[in-house]
Structure 1
């Protein structure tokens, strides 16, 4: 699918914008699943000021969608209309120490790099980030966590840019963090955050990080084209247990497969489409619901348009489920 050139169509004066603007940029290259259609316009700002200036000149009716490292993201095959904003390491990849126990971190910094930088600074409380395959921007929004630690435990305040181009600062309390969720304003793009650690011996921190890394390598298909955990853990149980109990370990649709190693991970086996992956996920949700009555919630973000003639309904619906089972 090819979208109209947004800059030309809207007559936008982008002469003062220092970042990179690319029309109809395929997003499959920047998502870990390696699938998905194009962004109508991909904007990679030079810095926070550049992002604010661009947002201020963009008409209010043009949709804007920020993406991070693309780790827990499924872009549909029809692509994403409007503007996709992707922060890069060049403008948003800094990690700087502030005072004795704080770090100012750009939103494009990978989670595992924050763990490494904190270890070198002798600051504890960040080792759990070594096991999260994503970036700080996404971690701030979804309260990313693992191995007993969560973003809300260490985040102090963040900086963001609103849809109107205003630079704002929000505290930890403003976001009302809870399990894999926050009340962060949907139209605000996070650009950096301040984190608080505690003094700790580097050797002890690295031992924690090693334990996290070893567990991840043994338990998760990290060398596959995957998006991390597919579903959130329901109250009182684990998503993988419910997926397994419903007989979905190794379930495959097209080129998409539920991992045999960890069945809460979807894998692109090589030639999957976004449709294959989302249809597989909804098939799993339907079968878990039928087996245990639990309605699993997606942890992977699914964005964009379906191609013409394609529809994947939540939990599929009776007819679609029957068709999928017959195809599988």
Structure 2
């Protein structure tokens, strides 16, 4: 004769069913939401992204390229809405910081997407095919690794000229190398798994196996690495802009603002502090989110 379950047993059964029915990504999201530093970073970064979008749309009372010759190096004030002051040409620092933040984030995201597409495809192909193809593809990666980053960018700019699209291509064309190595290592570990061998036995082509089985199963480490790559790309663009090889006036980025602020820091320290703090907060948020994703996806922490 069957007996009715107690309320405690029912709750336990429901919890067990919920855990069993939860997918890998749902479990990772739940673990990420328990990470307070990551959650706060997501909120702060989301706010910065919204502000950057508004800055690109020009919703602020001042335009980023408008010059007020009578208001050079005005310190932060509520008068005339120069909340972050003005720079050496009298341009409003709020507008320029928002535009610079948008450009830096755009460079970071687009260049990361470029490196993601190239690196995942290259690494998965090399790792799965193996043999001489793998050796040839990875030796090509080693050759590109040996080229100095700045030298490579300078060559591209001399040949094709300076524009912001070229910065995306230049940074993305270098940063994919590490991504390719990571994906290749993961692919080598996956290609002898039972489900891959079953697909091979069923006559599935190598490209379809890479597309449907290998790449989806390496997305966990790739997602973590992407969140940690975006700060690296932003710093690379900032370094180029600091050297004068990045975006050109009147367009600006956080790196270019920091470069200009470093020259005027003795007479107008706010021109350095504002973009530097903005970049610091952005990089902190991205790194905290990356650490949170790594802890959430890592199977050893389950």
TM-score, structure 2 as length reference: 0.23
Higher helix share: 2
TM-score, structure 1 as length reference: 0.21
Higher strand share: 1
Larger radius of gyration: 2
- The higher relative CO (CA closer than 8 Å, separation ≥ 6) is in 2
